[in-house]
Amino acid sequence: MKKVIEVVGAILENSNGEIFCAMRPEGKTFPGMWEFPGGKIEHNEEPEKALEREILEELNIYIRTGELFDEVEKEYEKFIINLLCYRCTILDFSGFKLLEHQDFKWVKKEELKNLNWVPTDIPTVDKLMNSL
C-alpha cells in the first residue's frame, strides 16, 4: 500500500487579482515546476494551522487561512498526495523572502496555464481559471 502524504497549499491573491506562484527548488521532487506554496501537515496538526506555519517557514509572511477551495488526490508511482488548497488572506508581506523556492511570480488567473505546474496542482489551476 502506498503512503498517503497530506499536504496543504495556499491560494494567495494580491489586490490586482494575481495569484502567487512558487517554483520548486532543485534537489526536490518536481524541480523547476510551479506550485501553490505550502507543505506537509504534521501529525495531529489542523490543516489551517499547518498552512499558516508552512507559509511562514517558506516565505516569511503571515497569512490567515480562509475557505477550502479545492481538494485533490493524486497517485504517483511511490506515494499518494492528498492536497487541500485554501484561499488565504495575506496579513503581513513586509518580511517576504524565498526560503524554500527558487523563484516566484504573481500571475493573472487567465495566464496560470502558461506555467509548468506540479501535476497535483493542475486541477486547482483549472478550477481557478474556470471561476473567472
Quickly state the pLDDT bin for 131 (edges 50, 70, 90): confident
pLDDT score recorded for residue 59: 98
Residues 80-102 have a mean pLDDT of 97
Quickly state the pLDDT bin for 1 (edges 50, 70, 90): confident
pLDDT score recorded for residue 75: 96
* The dihedral sign for the CA sequence 99, 88, 68, 85: negative
> Is 101 exposed, middle or buried (CB count within 10 Å of its CB: 0-12, 13-18, 19+)?
middle
Residue 121 CB contacts under 8 Å (≥ 6 apart), including other chains: 9, 34, 35, 36, 72, 83, 85
The model's pLDDT over 20-69, given as tens digits with 9 standing for 90+, comes to 999 999 999 999 999 999 999 999 999 999 999 999 999 999 999 999 99
Among candidates 115, 106, 109, 114, which has minimal Cα distance to 129? 109
- CA–CA separation, 75 vs 71, rounded Å? 13
pLDDT score recorded for residue 43: 94
pLDDT score recorded for residue 44: 95
Per cent of the chain over pLDDT 70 is 99
85 close to 36: Cβ distance less than 8 angstroms: yes
* The dihedral sign for the CA sequence 122, 53, 60, 93: positive
Single pTM value for the model: 0.95
The domains located in the chain, with CATH, are 3-130 (3.90.79.10)
Phi and psi, residue 22, nearest 5°: -120, 140
